[in-house]
Chain A
Amino acid sequence: MSIRKRIAAARRAVLAATLTVVSSLASAQTFTFTAIPDQDESKLTERFGRIADYLSKQVGAEVKYIPVKSYPAAVAAFRNNQVQLAWFGGLTGVQARNLVPGSEAIAQGAEDTAFKTYFIAHASTGLKNSAEFPAAIAGKSFTFGSKGSTSGRLMPEFFIRDHFKKAPDAIFSRVGFSGDHSRTMTLVESGAYDVGVLNYTVWDDAVKQGSVDTSKVSVIWTSPTYPDYQWTIRGDVDAAWGKGFKQKVQQALLDMKDPQLLQAFPRTGFVPAQNSDYAPIEKTAIELGIMDEIM
């Protein structure tokens, strides 16, 4: 180990120690969580207030929900110990856990063990649903969802690069970021973009509710599966709320069976998860240059 590396390691150790002291001081407070659901962001406080009540009863501590809008803000709140538990997308969870050493993925949605991305296209493109990767999307205009989304950006970009061996800019006539799964659907439905990619649950829901005109826009390809949304908790919660607290929270999440509560996410239930489940997501993010390799 070179001297330089040793100094860097020592500095990190000191920093980590200070961090623990400061954060344990800061957390003589209400256990707080946040969640950015993959669809329907309206009335968040109302819907997630019920989850807070449920958790509060289960873990025997005061639990509060705060609404957070963007992924960077959610991670910042997690990092600053303003929230100790968060419902993150696959990529955001990996980023958050890298920034907050000791934090852990404790549960994921039942659907999230094998999540999928739909590629959708406007009818005028003539593209049809197929089991093969739709190579004919080259040259069309194309929109991702939000930049930090796993199903709306990271994984579809991976599949696109994997097939074409080129960056999206070099394949499509234009590459946009709609900012959101529902927007992607609207923009492709109106033909503003030829092709788009989105979270499959958002699409399936819209079709069920009849809020999308499938004669104008349809699914042309379903991606292979990957892990996505999960609950991530800070490593220092046991120190603040007592030994075994983390496990109590995990159990409470796994025991959540009330469909009304689960509808907020929306998931059919939660199953256990661990950090290593998201190794493929991290590897992909590094490959795509969205994350730097952790040294």
Chain B
Amino acid sequence: MQSSSFPLIPVRDSSATAMVRTSALFVLVALLCLPWADLSISTRDPWQELARLGWGLLTPSFDNPLTLLEALANTLAFALQGVALGAVGGFLLALGYRRAAVRRFAAFIRAIHELFWALLFIQLAGLSPAAGVLAIAIPYAGTFAKIYGELFEEVDPSARQALPVGTGALSAFFFTELPQCFAHMVTYTRYRLECGIRSSAVLGFIGLPTVGFHLETALKQGQYSEAAALFYALVLVIVTLHGWMRAKLLPLYLLAVLVWLPPVAQFNGALVWRFFSEDIVPAPLRQGWNGEGLWRWLHALWSSQIAPGLGNTLVLALLALIGTGLVTLLTFPAISHLFGRPVTRAGGHFFLVLMRSAPEYLLAFVGLLLWGPSMLPAVVALSLHNGAIIAHLVGHYSDSLQLRDDAVTGLNRYLFEVLPRIYRTFLAFTLYRFEILMRETAMLGILGIPTLGFFIDSAFTEFRFDRAMLLLLVTALLNMSVDMLARTLRRRLHLSSQPESL
């Protein structure tokens, strides 16, 4: 693998055919899912509410700038601490990534949405800064482990082979693999910080004092001007990230956020003990072993929650995957230097940053007003949000392509020059995203689609941690299977891992 920011991969006909086949397969499976996907449209007069929302977006206002600044500072504090801790944890896991057990563990911890980690830690450590930091750090460690680990795996082995016999494994790693991957790791880690800021904002939805705390209130109350101000503030932080996030300043920032929001928690030993010894023990086993009761409990959960949850999660995630692909292919030219003018590119960047910064909840809500409750708003919301993220990455990647001076322009350039060259990258990015789509289906209970995440959320609301644990386990298993499948597919298609892909 080259050490340029994007690897050059020799084009092989067989792999090109395989890519086409895989794409076709995914589209086919998604089409087969359609009969189970309720995409009906049933709304009557959404315009009044949409007008209110639109007016709010045009007239952002916030009474108390201090509250806004404090929420922004908290958002950054959780994000920076969580991502930093996650990166260290992920790095350590990545060292053992060749082992299947480590890979599975990493897939396990990243399968669980930040919100659910937060709900768990809030139970154990109360509403404390540590709960928020860990909620980000743990799933992010799983993701970092995967990306760093795959980078280490794909590194050019010739450097290591040139080492003298008897070089220690650690020295070999620090002098051969790490230097070759380092640039990629930095790029990826910085990209994850943007994700961390979004995650941190979303943690506010359940009560941590970030931007999401106020944003959720404003959205719920229909105070759209206030929501818009919060949303724009968040977008501003994300847009300017490249400007203020410098490697040299990082220690300073970390120190600042540690002082601002020390990651303390008040662990209550008795509660932690009760949580593990009683709360998460399946209800029928709390009075001692009861095989028959356990069987009934499992059976009831399987038929009422796990089976329908699995079905809905998979159908929704697959449809959203296709939608994400379409949105990506349609929108990446808007920011690519191979198309358009500086003005249109600025517009493209603006649109993409809005879409990827908007919480899916907001997009789903607009969709719900427009089309009524069904899978349609869910698919559209997930596709727009995730498509915007991938389009951003594919668009940047396309800038690195060299076209002949006399290359065709317009649609022909798109179809015959650019698309074939970016397709491999595009496919790798999109396949990576599948995992995340499955996890994000959890956020859409407002649409009345009972996914696994919907049932996990219900279990937490009902304080049934035994059920929550079982459902989280199922989600993690599903994620681990998808991870293995994607790994196999990527091998077969010779898709390289692209660090910027998640």
Contacts and interface: CB of A to CB of B under 8 A. Distances in A.
Contacts of B268: 22-23, 26, 80-81
Given A8-B286, A72-B460, A291-B462, A190 B369 contact: yes
Contact of A190 (B48, B205, B374, B457): B48
B206 A19 contact: no
Contacts of B409: none
Interface string A57-87: 0000000001111111111110111100000
Contacts of A175: 448
Contacts of B206: 69-70, 72-73
A80 B48 CA distance: 44
Given A80-B266, A183-B220, A292-B283, A190 B49 contact: yes
Contacts of B461: 71-72, 146-148
A134 B451 CA distance: 30
A185 B316 CA distance: 27
Given A70-B207, A174-B374, A18 B269 contact: yes
B161 interface: no
Contact of B445 (A79, A95, A179, A182): A179
Interface residues of B, number: 56
A108 interface: no
Q: Which of B122, B268, B463 has the most CB of A within 10 A?
A: B463
B221 A41 contact: yes
Contacts of B269: 18, 22
Contacts of B213: 67, 69
Nearest to A191: B44
A180 B283 CA distance: 30
A141 B373 contact: yes
A79 B271 CA distance: 8
B122 to A, nearest CB: 5
Interface in B428-463: 445-448, 457-458, 460-463
Nearest to B447: A176
A4 B49 CA distance: 59
B488 interface: no
Contacts of A238: none
A174 to B, nearest CB: 5
A73 B458 contact: no
A183 B286 CA distance: 39
Nearest to A81: B268
Q: Which of B226, B369, B446, B447 has the most CB of A within 10 A?
A: B446
Contact of B270 (A18, A99, A192): A18
A71 B205 CA distance: 12
A209 interface: no
Interface of A: 4-5, 7-8, 11, 15, 18-19, 22-23, 26, 40-42, 66-77, 79-82, 95, 99, 122, 124, 141, 143, 146-148, 174-180, 182-183, 186-187, 189-193, 213, 216, 290-292, 295
14 contacts: A8-B286, A15-B274, A42-B223, A73-B206, A75-B463, A141-B373, A147-B462, A176-B445, A190-B43, A191-B42, A191-B44, A192-B368, A193-B373, A290-B462
Interface of B: 38, 42-46, 48-49, 119, 122-123, 125-127, 204-207, 213, 216-218, 220-223, 226, 266, 268-271, 273-274, 277-278, 283, 286-288, 368-369, 372-374, 445-448, 457-458, 460-464
> Lowest 3 CB-CB distances: which A-B pairs, in order?
A191-B44, A176-B448, A69-B207
